[in-house]
Amino acid sequence: MAEFLRGKTVAVTGAGRGIGRAVALACAAEGASVVVNDYGVGIDGSAPASEVADEVVKEIEAAGGRAVAVADDIATMAGGERVVRTAVESFGRLDGVVCVAGILRERMLFNMSEQEWDPVIATHLKGTFTVFRAASALMRKQGGGTLIGFTSGNHQGSVSQANYSAAKGGIISLVRSAALGLNKYGVTANCVAPVARTRMSANVPTELKEIGEPEDVAALVVYLLSEAAREITGQVYTVAGPKIAVWAQPRELRAMYAPSGSWTPERIADFLPGTVGVDPMPMLQQLEAMAKAAAAKERPNA
């Protein structure tokens, strides 16, 4: 064992199942003491159960590691604070937080209810904020630490999960803001977009061309939490089985300037199509191929 995280304390949300569980087990195997947070809910966020986090703590302890369970809802400020406080009370410090907890409530935008929008935004986006908020205050005093958020390739847009896509886009902006705001305190912030076989990915209606196991995602997270990645901040990485990819930073592509200093709608109509134009949306281009596959009763590729 490389003991990449020897002496560190790491808190992982959504660590009772799927990717979060694999991250918690890998961190413990690499020498970290681990706070295992999981609210133990169904895929839509309903019916909480505290045993889910306890089971992973037992697994870590049985393998000779150190872990403590927190069964709180990280969509609440108290839940996020409890995760951070438990790390300090149990292990004396907190070096990294990994916000993996997530739920799905799928619906077309024109049918989506407030009850389908709010809990998805609360679990993913606010659930990352609550933990980052408490952890960053501590890490600023400590003079170092690592914040990791979980996004998705779907931050580019989603046909039937506008709530999830919006939350995942928000997490990227939150991570970039944390990277900027905490840089001078030695705290890094990065984002992981995983593709791995879990109960959540089993729900996707398309055949995923590139997919791996939760353990593949855990290896990248351990690296990002380690001293070897101290210089990396403000990045978004996809991990899908054998593939790891970095996403581009958002930037302006082309600009046009009004000759007289101001534009009118008519002048914009004259100039925009031939100058700044558009940047074609890759996911929009995939829709047609997917619709054809679905009509042929095949499981379309994504």
Active site residues: 164
Q: Determine the Cα–Cα distance for residues 217 and 195; give it in Å rounded to an integer.
A: 8
Residues 16-75 that bind ligand NAD (CB under 6 A): 16-20, 37-41, 43, 45, 52, 73-75
One residue of 150, 175, 182, 216 binding ligand NAD per CB under 6 A: 150
Whichever of 101 and 220 has its CB closer to ligand NAD, that residue is: 101
Say how far residue 182 (Cα) sits from the centre of its chain.
19
One residue of 67, 97, 134, 195 binding ligand NAD per CB under 6 A: 195
As measured in angstroms, the least distance from the Cβ of 98 to ligand NAD is 10
Phi and psi at 26, nearest 5°, equal -65, -40
CA 79, 235, 241: angle at the middle one, nearest 5? Answer: 85
DSSP type of residue 202: G
- Whether 201 contacts 154, CB under 8 Å: no
How far is the CA of 122 from the CAs of 83, 118, 160, in angstroms?
A: 17, 6, 18
Whichever of 54 and 276 has its CB closer to ligand NAD, that residue is: 54
Size of the site for ligand NAD (CB under 6 A): 33
One residue of 6, 199, 230, 243 binding ligand NAD per CB under 6 A: 199
Q: Check binding of 302 to ligand NAD (CB under 6 A).
A: no
Q: Check binding of 198 to ligand NAD (CB under 6 A).
A: yes
- Whether 300 contacts 208, CB under 8 Å: no
Strand arrangement of the beta sheet that strand 145-150 belongs to? 66-70, 33-37, 9-13, 96-99, 145-150, 187-194, 236-240, 243-246
Q: What spatial distance separates the first Cα and last Cα of the chain, rounded to whole Å?
A: 36
Structure token digits, residue 70: 């927190």
Q: Determine the Cα–Cα distance for residues 140 and 183; give it in Å rounded to an integer.
A: 10
Whichever of 74 and 179 has its CB closer to ligand NAD, that residue is: 74
Residues 6+ apart with CB under 8 A from 205: 299, 300
Q: Check binding of 81 to ligand NAD (CB under 6 A).
A: no
Whichever of 133 and 140 has its CB closer to ligand NAD, that residue is: 133
Q: Check binding of 166 to ligand NAD (CB under 6 A).
A: no
Q: Check binding of 121 to ligand NAD (CB under 6 A).
A: no
As measured in angstroms, the least distance from the Cβ of 45 to ligand NAD is 5
Whichever of 20 and 145 has its CB closer to ligand NAD, that residue is: 20
> Applying CB under 6 A, which part among 94-102, 132-140, 155-163, 265-273 lies near ligand NAD?
94-102
As measured in angstroms, the least distance from the Cβ of 81 to ligand NAD is 13
One residue of 94, 101, 172, 175 binding ligand NAD per CB under 6 A: 101
Q: Determine the Cα–Cα distance for residues 176 and 54; give it in Å rounded to an integer.
A: 33
Q: Determine the Cα–Cα distance for residues 149 and 169; give it in Å rounded to an integer.
A: 11
> Applying CB under 6 A, which part among 138-146, 195-203, 245-253, 271-279 lies near ligand NAD?
195-203
Q: Check binding of 123 to ligand NAD (CB under 6 A).
A: yes
Q: Determine the Cα–Cα distance for residues 154 and 138; give it in Å rounded to an integer.
A: 31
Q: Check binding of 191 to ligand NAD (CB under 6 A).
A: no
One residue of 9, 86, 146, 152 binding ligand NAD per CB under 6 A: 152
**Residues lying near ligand NAD in the complex (CB under 6 A):** 13-14, 16-20, 37-41, 43, 45, 52, 73-75, 100-103, 123, 127, 150, 152, 194-196, 198-201
